[in-house]
Amino acid sequence: MANLKEIRSRITSVGSTMQITSAMKMVSAAKLKRAQDAITQMRPYSNKLTELLENLSFNLDTPSTGKYTEKRGLKNILFVTVSSNRGLCGGFNANIIKKTKELIKHEYSSSNPHILSIGKKTSEHFAKNKFNIVKQSDELFSDLTYNNVKDVAEFIMNAFIDKKFDKVVLVYNRFKNAATQIVMTENFLPLEEKNTNSNINMDYLFEPSQEEIVKDLIPKSLRTQLFKAVLDSHASEHGARMTAMHKATDNAAELKKELTLTYNKARQAAITGEILEIVGGAEALNN
């Protein structure tokens, strides 16, 4: 059994760790509220924009839409991975890395994979493992705005139009609640034709033409889709970190309780031993 000094030192260390994890949990909870509000407000707009684009582009085949819908042989695939810049958030980053590797190994095993990483954790991992990283956008989370994400979306769209990549896939965590994040894979480019019901109300007045509207809506929809994915991941990160720190705080409290019990037992045993020595010495003197 460890001596009393070692146990006291461990109790102090665990107590300090518990204070840190508890503080990190509260900070993440405050940040989660803002991030959750942002993605909650963004989703209806993004969904409506996608719905509007699908309705307007139904049976519309023009050069302006064709450059985003062109299907090619899957020679070069770009994976846009969205992770975090910091750790201590459970399996949040590991799940993104694992899913990306699964896609590369199985679904796109015959293609040449490229990585565009948003978040230091995926950047560091894929760089360490010699993956082909075409761009790192780790600074986005320092100032998460639509304009900053738009620049990344423009880079991806231009690379696809220039035929540097034949397909672009998003891999990110979708926020469900503070305790649940769902790993998502979305086809970013080329745009896929959706099954649209023929009875959809298409009683629109177009100004300017339908083609011009679709031409402007497609890039905007793609920028919005990427921004939504980053916001989803941002909210998921804080939810995952809050949950991880909550569990860490509970585990530290339980460990501190066990160490305190061990300390009390060791102290009681030491006192009992000292009493027995005193009694034994007294009896020796009497004899």
* Residues making up the chain, counted from first to last: 287
**Interacting residues of 166 by C-beta distance below 8 A, sequence separation 6+:** 72, 73, 74, 75, 76, 77, 111
Q: For residue 223, indicate whether it is catalytic.
A: no
SS (H, E, C) 151-210: HHHHHHHHHHHCCCCCEEEEEEEEEEECCEEEEEEEEEECCCCCCCCCCCCCCCCCCCCH
Nearest to 101 by CA among 34, 202, 7, 183: 183
Judge whether 238 and 32 are in contact, CB under 8 Å.
Answer: yes
| Alpha-carbon distance values, 16 to 10, 27, 246 (Å) | 10, 17, 15
Per annotation, catalytic residue among 24, 32, 89, 103: 89
- Return the active site residues: 89
